[in-house]
Structure 1
Amino acid sequence: MPPRHRRLFQLAFFALFLIAPALDWLRWDLHEAQLWFLGQRWTLGIDDFRAGRIDATQAALGILLKGFLPGMLAVAAFLAVAWRWGRVYCGWLCPHFSIVELLNATLHRACAKWSLWDRSATPRDDRPADARWWPVFFGLSALFGALWAITLLSYLLPPAEVWGGLVHGTLTPNQARFLAIGTAVFSAEFVLARHLFCRFGCAVGLFQSLVWMANPKGMVVAFDRAKARDCQGCATQRFGQGAACDRGCPMRLHPRDIKRRMFSCVQCGQCLQACDESQSARGRAPVLEWRIGADAVRETLRQRREDRGG
């Protein structure tokens, strides 16, 4: 799938993340201690067993077939995707990472940095830093922090109750405390630690990386070192300071590095886009490409040899 289609996947999954509780596609109702899935009550048969409508064997089968088996299949399918394609969920679907990229771009407009912790600015040729974007950056961080807290609460309580309480000011003290603390925590994370959380704090991303690293055939970004000279003067309109692939990576990685140093790569393909844009402008083929399967194994072995030799 071409990287240019990634935004469509991100927008679609972001919308799904927001509306799923309202449509009862996925949520856990604390009032009823009830899981809702695809608009239906997902029951294990425990209530029927207590009421004497089914026997112990039927109850055990219900727990196995509707509880353990679907959960194990979902986890297995998720890890199978990570085994082959790495953290593709993070780069192509994750709502949090979508916001990270938006905030990166907004902060860069304000101070020409992709993070508050960058030591030096990386200005873009087409626009200088503009302090008027600072309120936008902090405003978006607070807005998405609040949206995250509200959405998570709607996965635990009926969304109509949550949103109705916000609109009419009828939230319970516990609901208000959850939203206040959640908004503060998520807003601070968006402002200060969004990259750190994605790289090391997210369990979903961490397990994807671990599974991917264990598979030598997993998809990798391959660098054609025979054309390393083509990287000299590499620049695009967006990244005019050179090293366009490095500057374009939202995870602050160096895409031309070996796999074991690309642990938190989210396979977003932005480095490949930057490389393709830069090299195409000079009539050359890109030096970065995705490789998978046997090609990925050969790339990994070659990287290891060059790393030892270096």
Structure 2
Amino acid sequence: MNTGAPARKPQRVIPIATAPAGDAAAAAAMQRRRRAFQAGFFALFVLAPVFDLFRYDLDADHAWLLGMEWRLGLDPFLAGQASALEAAGSIILNLFVPLLALAALVIGAAWKWGRLYCGWLCPHFSVVESINRLMARASGKASVWDRHLLPAWKPDGRPARVDARWWGVVVPAAVGFAFLWAVVLLTYLLPPAQVYGNLFAGELTRNQAIFLTAATVVLSLEFLFARHLFCRFVCAVGLFQSLAWMGNRDALVVGFERERASDCSNCLPDRQSACDAACPMRLRPRNIKRHMFTCTQCRQCVDACATTQHANPQGPLLSWVAGEAARQNEAGFRALKDR
């Protein structure tokens, strides 16, 4: 990396993701803001079917969007009053155009900022983070598949306490989230009043009971054992965001000042890394971009670095960079490899 290059200036890359580098208080405020976005979107995920904001009604055989019936416009064709070409046009206009517009919005944001939806809005990822924190309290690891324990110290210097009794919270939380998800998913397919009414009255139909039982079991296993694997390898929304992000060399990325890598040695006791421990996707934030393929832009690694380096006059080693700074960051990795 060319150390004679002008110092990088903080960039206002996106309003919800901007905090002064090295400011631990601002970093904490940013995480509170991110969790507020997650909580709000989770509430929207749960309540959207209740208020007919978005759902498909299997009983009525049509969708609801923003409180209005959303049909494909095939009724004239079925009644023999429209041609097949007109029916195809209705499907394109009423189904594919809205879907493509939504996909373009998500992919466009990912092209510039990465998997911002995952880290700031996705209701599944908010469950991933919640169970991560509980599992860390119970076992000292964020996942049952982790080979090594998390550091015994938090970025702010407090000890990370581990107590096996927290497993009594981890498992019920995973099952509780799974059951909530199963109920909500069912309300996207059947009238919410019917689902909640039958549930509270203990009068679920056979098919409803089978769906809720099967979905709760599958989701419980996923939340306990495979939540990171789902985000990395299964979720199509995350995959396409990652592909778009990887295709843009100027996109927002975690930058690492490699020339100051020696400062990482005193980040935490026992030469452990706060940024690695902070990543909910179990990635290594100081790595090259292609090894950060599933980064959710949650910023926790950047904030952990800011906290551990708060007394360092040079500031943190990690920061979000974009544009030419992002290109230089990747070029630095290649130069280091060629050396």
In the superposition, the TM-score normalised over structure 1's length comes to 0.92
SS of 1:161 mapped into structure 2: helix
Aligned residue for 2:117?
89
Task: Tell whether 2:210 aligns with 1:177.
Answer: yes
SS of 1:24 mapped into structure 2: coil
Deviation at 1:53, TM superposition (A): 6.5
Superposed, 1:1-150 pairs within 5 Å as 1-2=17-18, 3-4=30-31, 5-51=33-79, 59-122=87-150, 123-124=152-153, 125-150=158-183
**Matched residue type, 2:191:** P
Q: 2: distance between equivalents of 1:44 and 1:223?
A: 50
SS of 2:310 mapped into structure 1: helix
**Cα displacement string for residues 106-155 of structure 1 (whole angstroms, at most 9, x for unaligned residues):** 11111211111222322344343112211100010010010111111110
Deviation at 1:185, TM superposition (A): 0.4
The answer to which of 22-31 and 43-52 deviates more is: 43-52
Deviation at 1:7, TM superposition (A): 0.9
Aligned residue for 1:166?
199
**Matched residue type, 1:174:** N
**Matched residue type, 1:251:** M
The answer to which of 11-20 and 206-215 deviates more is: 206-215
Q: 1: distance between equivalents of 2:307 and 2:283?
A: 19
Deviation at 1:281, TM superposition (A): 3.0
Q: 2: distance between equivalents of 1:264 and 1:206?
A: 8
The answer to which of 52-61 and 170-179 deviates more is: 52-61
- Structure 2, gaps ≥5 residues long: 1-16, 19-29
SS of 1:81 mapped into structure 2: helix
The answer to which of 178-187 and 64-73 deviates more is: 64-73
Deviation at 1:278, TM superposition (A): 0.9
- Contact 2:38–2:120 under 8 Å retained in 1: yes
Q: 2: distance between equivalents of 1:262 and 1:20?
A: 33
Aligned residue for 2:237?
204
Deviation at 1:242, TM superposition (A): 3.1
The answer to which of 64-73 and 172-181 deviates more is: 64-73
In the superposition, the TM-score normalised over structure 2's length comes to 0.85
User: Runs ≥4 in structure 1, deviation > 4 angstroms?
Assistant: 52-61
- Structure 1, gaps ≥5 residues long: none
Q: 2: distance between equivalents of 1:148 and 1:250?
A: 21
SS of 1:281 mapped into structure 2: coil
- Contact 2:265–2:271 under 8 Å retained in 1: no
- Contact 2:73–2:94 under 8 Å retained in 1: no
Question: Cα gap change, 1:153/1:89 in structure 2, threshold over 3 Å: closer, same or farther?
Answer: same
**Matched residue type, 2:141:** K
Aligned residue for 2:284?
254
The answer to which of 276-285 and 239-248 deviates more is: 239-248
Deviation at 1:215, TM superposition (A): 1.5
Q: 1: distance between equivalents of 2:314 and 2:329?
A: 21
1:226 corresponds to which of 254, 259, 275: 259
2:302 corresponds to which of 272, 278, 288: 272
The answer to which of 174-183 and 69-78 deviates more is: 69-78
**Matched residue type, 1:100:** V
Q: 1: distance between equivalents of 2:181 and 2:271?
A: 35
**Cα displacement string for residues 12-66 of structure 1 (whole angstroms, at most 9, x for unaligned residues):** 1011000000010010011111010111001232113434666767655433322
Aligned residue for 1:214?
247
Q: 1: distance between equivalents of 2:279 and 2:328?
A: 24
The answer to which of 58-67 and 11-20 deviates more is: 58-67
**Matched residue type, 2:223:** F
Question: Cα gap change, 1:306/1:40 in structure 2, threshold over 3 Å: closer, same or farther?
Answer: same
**Matched residue type, 2:259:** A
Q: 2: distance between equivalents of 1:159 and 1:201?
A: 28
- Contact 2:57–2:190 under 8 Å retained in 1: yes
Q: 1: distance between equivalents of 2:47 and 2:267?
A: 42
Higher relative CO (Cα under 8 Å, sequence separation at least 6) belongs to 2
- Contact 2:178–2:216 under 8 Å retained in 1: yes
SS of 1:221 mapped into structure 2: strand
2:228 corresponds to which of 188, 191, 195: 195
Over the aligned positions, Cα root-mean-square deviation in angstroms equals: 1.9
Q: 2: distance between equivalents of 1:186 and 1:240?
A: 37
Deviation at 1:240, TM superposition (A): 8.5
**Cα displacement string for residues 64-105 of structure 1 (whole angstroms, at most 9, x for unaligned residues):** 322221111111111111111111111111111101111111
